[in-house]
Amino acid sequence: MIWHPSPNFGPRRDGLRPRFIVLHYTAMGSAAEALARLCDPSAEVSAHYLIDRDGTCFQMVDEEMRAWHAGAGAWAGLEDINSRSVGIELVNTGAEPFPWPQMRALEGLLPGIMARWSIGPEGVIGHSDMSPARKQDPGPRFDWRALARAGHALWPEGQGGEGDFGSSLDRIGYPPAPPEDRLAAFRARFRPEGAGPLCEKDTRRAACVAQAYDTNRRAPA
């Protein structure tokens, strides 16, 4: 871990503590570019961690503090996600796979954060999950299934289920947004092979995912 402090942070509001971990991509070509922006006072953005393609990990903000990574959005009915989360940026342009050293470093970083703040796998989300009308990261190239196999995210393997698509997304945690944005965010996360208009496969997959989130949120900490 390389300490590379950013001035862009503040106290978590109203005594809030992290309940989520939000994953991002930088949409930049290099870690140097990303660090420069995330540590630029005029940019007013930051994250707690940045992971380079080769697995090098930088910490910019102490986890106790509120980094400025999430912006407007909500998850599971909760707002001010900055005060409720730890933010992790992954160096990626958005048009490339996430290399194995980077994913391995992420899998090494997550357990400690999850243990320190009692965050279950259902609390690890993407930026596009909490802000589907504004954001697309970490995008359909991110391997959520691999992260779930390591116990660091949810990826139900089933495809079957019954229910209204919008209601299922509400149960999962997606905030209100135009239907096409919610569909795109859901597919990027849970059905990256999906394309075209909403279909039965989306509806059945969403119902299956919603059931998994219901079950995990009821499970004892």
**Is 107 marked active-site?**
no
CA triplet 61, 66, 70: central angle to 5 degrees? 100
Active-site pick, 89, 122, 157, 180: 89
CA distance 84 to 184: 24
DSSP 3-state of 202: helix
Which residues, at least 6 apart from 200, have a Cβ–Cβ distance to it below 8 Å?
none
Helices (H), 75-199: 100-117, 127-130, 144-149, 165-172, 179-190
Is the Cβ–Cβ distance between 29 and 35 less than 8 Å?
Answer: no
C-alpha span between 201 and 192 (Å, rounded): 12
Which residue is listed with tokens 């059931």? 211
Residues involved in catalysis: 89
